[in-house]
């Protein structure tokens, strides 16, 4: 029979779903590559991350014995939990679809879990003790220079720092850079913002925009952040996994995607929350 479903065709279908989902989750998750990553292994569902305070050196005279400096780290425990999504693919839908069903499902599953991972990490921005803005005004380039000065004062290299903004907030930043898109004295950064919309680096900070964040309950009011890569952490216990279960009476297959991970704040002083309102709705 031409449309017969065999274990071989099902195996190929799910292999393609897994491959597409794994590819998409790597491409669509912005935050995963901008934070500290840990692997939870060896039993248990949490990882304890040691946090070391800065050690100060002092001048010492010749033939003078050094005094002992205690190294007593604190720790942050990050506990993993499951996230998942499921769909039911009927035999009729699979056999009659003109599209590559496996690729479509893999893409959707990968996008869904990548978005959830980003949202969980972005939600940690609200926990930074240092904040700029009160949600009533538009962001400007000066705000990023302010945030950069705060991180530099903490001894952090800004070339290892990132800025995450919602696209509607990033709009105001780009407009400010280009003097409302008409700067006759534009530099390379301004010209690039005009050509492609890419913000690039400001004050040494790499600026990204993502829609994977919700407003604060007020339209156009979003909380972004500038942070060092060691400010936040993602602890993976299980990357995206695809499982299937046959429902013979329904003539369909349940397809389930899950991931197990946890997020946490490591260094509060390594991040600055940016709370601004978009001038466009």
The strand pairing partners of 264, in sequence order, are: 233
Rounded Cα distance, 231 and 199, in Å? 22
190: buried, middle or exposed (CB in 10 Å: 19+, 13-18, 0-12)? middle
Q: Are 224 and 135 in contact (CB under 8 A)?
A: no
User: Is the pLDDT reported for residue 137 higher than 50?
Assistant: yes
Tens of pLDDT along 255-274?
888 999 999 999 999 999 99
Tens of pLDDT along 179-231?
544 444 555 555 554 444 446 788 889 898 888 888 888 888 999 999 999 99
Write down the CATH number for the domain with range 7-52+72-277. Answer: 3.90.1690.10
Give the pLDDT confidence score for residue 7 in this predicted structure: 41
| Radius of gyration, CA atoms only, the chain | 24
Span of 53-57, 114-118, 130-134, 247-251 with lowest mean pLDDT: 53-57
Tens of pLDDT along 34-73?
999 999 987 789 988 888 777 778 788 887 888 888 777 8
Q: How confident is the model at residue 131 (pLDDT cuts 50, 70, 90)?
A: very high
Residue of 265, 277, 276, 236 lying closest to 125 (CA atoms): 265
In sequence order, which residues have a C-beta less than 8 Å from that of residue 190 and are 6 or more positions away?
177, 178, 183
Give the pLDDT confidence score for residue 9 in this predicted structure: 46
Rounded Cα distance, 77 and 262, in Å? 10
Question: 203's torsion region: left (phi>0), alpha (psi -120 to 50) or beta?
Answer: left
Rounded Cα distance, 226 and 144, in Å? 8
Beta strands 205-209 and 161-165, pairing class: parallel
- Token output for 251: 């003539």
DSSP-based helix, strand, coil % in the chain, nearest 5: 35, 30, 35
Domain residue spans in the chain? 7-52+72-277
Give the pLDDT confidence score for residue 193 in this predicted structure: 46
Q: What is the mean pLDDT of the chain?
A: 82
- Token output for 277: 């309102």
User: Is the pLDDT reported for residue 5 higher than 50?
Assistant: no
In the sheet with 232-247, reading across from the earlier edge strand, the strands are: 36-39, 232-247, 252-265, 81-90
């Amino acid at each position: 029979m031409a449309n017969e479903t065999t274990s071989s065709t099902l195996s190929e279908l799910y292999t393609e779903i897994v491959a597409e989902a794994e590819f998409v989750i790597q491409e669509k998750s912005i935050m995963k590559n901008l934070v500290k990553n840990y692997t939870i292994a060896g039993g248990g569902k949490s990882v304890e991350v040691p946090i070391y305070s800065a050690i100060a050196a002092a001048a010492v005279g010749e033939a003078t014995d050094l005094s002992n400096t205690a190294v007593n780290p604190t720790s942050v425990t990050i506990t993993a939990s499951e996230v998942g999504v499921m769909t039911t693919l009927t035999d009729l839908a699979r056999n009659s679809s003109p599209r590559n069903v496996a690729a479509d499902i893999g893409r959707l599953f990968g996008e869904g879990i990548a978005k959830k991972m980003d949202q969980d990490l972005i939600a940690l921005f609200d926990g930074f003790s240092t904040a700029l803005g009160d949600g009533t005004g538009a962001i400007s380039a000066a705000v990023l220079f302010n945030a950069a000065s705060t991180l530099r004062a903490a001894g952090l290299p800004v070339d290892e720092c990132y800025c995450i903004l919602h696209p509607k907030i990033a709009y105001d930043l780009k407009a400010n850079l280009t003097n409302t898109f008409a700067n006759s004295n534009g530099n390379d950064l301004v010209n690039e913002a005009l050509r492609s919309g890419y913000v690039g680096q400001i004050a040494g900070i790499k600026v990204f925009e993502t829609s994977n964040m919700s407003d604060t309950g007020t339209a156009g009011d979003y909380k972004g952040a500038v942070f060092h890569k060691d400010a936040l952490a993602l602890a993976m216990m299980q990357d995206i996994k695809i499982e299937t279960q046959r429902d013979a009476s329904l003539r369909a297959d349940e397809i389930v995607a899950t991931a197990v991970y946890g997020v946490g704040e490591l260094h509060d002083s390594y991040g600055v929350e940016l709370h601004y309102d978009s001038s466009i709705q």
